[in-house]
Amino acid sequence: MKNTSIICLSLLILTLGCTKNSGDILETKAEQPKEEEVEVIAEPVIATYLTIKTGCLLNYGNQGNWIIVYDESGNLIDYKAFQENEIIAFESDETETHEKYSVTFLTINEFLGGIWNELNTSTEVLMGSTLDYSCIEENNASTSITGNFNLKIKNVPDDLTVTSINASNGENVGFAYSESSNNGLMTYEADLNILEVKTDYIITIQDGNENAKYYVLENYEIGEEISINYEDFNSYTDYTDINYPEHTSLRLLLHGSNTNEAYSLSQAFSNGNTQGSLRLGKLNRFDTYNLLYEIKINSEYVYTFFNTGEFPTEIITPEQPTVTISDSSIQEFKFETSITNYLNKTSSWYSGTTNENFTTWDVSSTRNYNPIIGNIPTEISTSHSNLEIEDLIYKHIKFDLNEDETIIISNSN
């Protein structure tokens, strides 16, 4: 009986001890404060929405150069001054970027006491784009001249339609009229340089009968007087004829080149003439041709064909198209045209209210895009009060028909 009591007492003490310890544990847990939830704020993600590399493909002003960036609605985003050979990054919070931007380059140049402000705007510049205006400067070191000689070309058929007599050995030389004869044959004369690195001249003529020939002159000496008869000139193996309409001015430049050499093959200029024909000749000596054909039909219409590559086989001057302007303001320029096949357009404005100050602004865009142009930043407009933006007058619109052809239609007013 005594043992039983001892056992019971032991169990009671053990039970009370366990109960006390459990209470202590519960009480300790209840006294601990709850951890508060901390809101994590994400760091802003900075995005470079535009990069510009400046270089010799840009114009620069001696009084200031600015890059101004707008969104598609014409709202000002940012602007920065620039110099040549810089890499300029435009950045913003990633949530504040836009799909497309308009970028304006403003250069301010002072000369002869006057100010020329030039603005050029590219539209539809995609987010993240790089506009690269850097380039490798060409080495324009002069070629050494070792002497010169005199050349006469006799018996060239001539009338008022003669367009070109040209000599080239890397430099271009025009011929002066020398004398004429009663039977319509002309003599032309020029003093030609002898270049250290070139050993021949290519002489080209389009005569009064609208025919084209060439002559390769070699083995000339310093101080020599050389006379060549036009009958000794060679015909080309391939020709392309350009039939031009009546015009107020015309120019044609044709160059041929390969890895080691470049020559002028034809130069033609006209300041008002009736319709006629220009004949281009192909020399197998060259694998690349650069051709510029530009004709101004009247005060409103200019057509230009510029091509680099193979010898052109056909050039046709299009009929003058129509352009009707419904809003001539630079902010929201609107028009209609009969041209249906163009790729891009460049609209131009100018201001010249005084003889000292002149402002031009060109805006480029694709065919179906009508850009909204924003205002110049206040800092720039107040520091350069002669910008004359409010006085800008619509001048003309240029259409890029393709990579080779452009049409300019000017304001008729």
- Residue 31: C-alpha distances to residues 17, 21, 37 (Å): 22, 16, 19
Residue in 314, 338, 310 with CA at minimum distance from that of residue 324: 338
**Measured distance CA(353)–CA(144) in Å, rounded:** 47
- Residue 228: C-alpha distances to residues 4, 91, 206, 395, 402 (Å): 149, 67, 16, 49, 43
Residue in 127, 107, 126, 125 with CA at minimum distance from that of residue 117: 107
Structural contact between residues 396 and 411, judged by C-beta atoms closer than 8 angstroms = yes
Q: Are strands 238-244 and 234-235 parallel, antiparallel or unpaired?
A: unpaired
In this prediction, residues 77-81 reach a mean pLDDT of 97
- pLDDT at 21 > cutoff 60: no
Q: Provide the 3-class DSSP secondary structure of residue 3.
A: helix
Quick one: pLDDT at residue 354? 60
- Tell me the residue type at 301: Y
Quick one: pLDDT at residue 36? 67
Beta-carbon contacts of 303 under 8 Å, excluding residues fewer than 6 positions away, are 294, 295, 297, 317, 318, 405, 406, 407, 408
Structural contact between residues 55 and 133, judged by C-beta atoms closer than 8 angstroms = yes
Which range among 83-87, 111-115, 117-121, 372-376 shows the weakest confidence by mean pLDDT? 111-115
In this prediction, residues 321-333 reach a mean pLDDT of 93
Residue in 206, 167, 171, 170 with CA at minimum distance from that of residue 186: 206
Can you say how many angstroms the Cα of residue 247 is from the centroid of all Cα atoms in its chain?
Answer: 27
* CB atoms inside a 10 Å sphere around CB 208: 17
Element (H, E) at 121: strand 114-126
Quick one: pLDDT at residue 72? 93
Residue in 266, 293, 292 with CA at minimum distance from that of residue 280: 266
Angle at 278 between CA 277 and CA 279, to 5 degrees: 120
- Residue with the larger pLDDT of the pair 2 and 342: 342
In this prediction, residues 145-161 reach a mean pLDDT of 85
What does pLDDT average to over the chain? 86
Percent of residues, the chain, with pLDDT higher than 90: 60
Which pLDDT tens digit goes with each residue over 203-221?
999 888 888 999 999 989 9
Q: Is 22 exposed, middle or buried (CB count within 10 Å of its CB: 0-12, 13-18, 19+)?
A: exposed
- pLDDT at 272 > cutoff 60: yes
Which pLDDT tens digit goes with each residue over 298-315?
999 999 999 999 999 999
Quick one: pLDDT at residue 48? 96
- pLDDT at 262 > cutoff 80: yes
**Measured distance CA(255)–CA(292) in Å, rounded:** 9
pTM > 0.85: yes or no: no
Which pLDDT tens digit goes with each residue over 385-398?
888 888 899 999 99
Which pLDDT tens digit goes with each residue over 234-251?
999 899 999 999 999 999
**Measured distance CA(285)–CA(265) in Å, rounded:** 11
Residue in 64, 69, 102, 103 with CA at minimum distance from that of residue 81: 64
Which pLDDT tens digit goes with each residue over 356-372?
788 999 999 999 899 99
Quick one: pLDDT at residue 164? 75
In 3-state terms, the chain is what percent helix, strand and coil (to 5)?
Answer: 10, 50, 40
Beta-carbon contacts of 292 under 8 Å, excluding residues fewer than 6 positions away, are 251, 252, 253, 254, 304, 305, 306
* CB atoms inside a 10 Å sphere around CB 372: 15
Quick one: pLDDT at residue 180? 73
Q: Are strands 393-400 and 405-410 parallel, antiparallel or unpaired?
A: antiparallel
Quick one: pLDDT at residue 7? 41
Length of the chain: 413
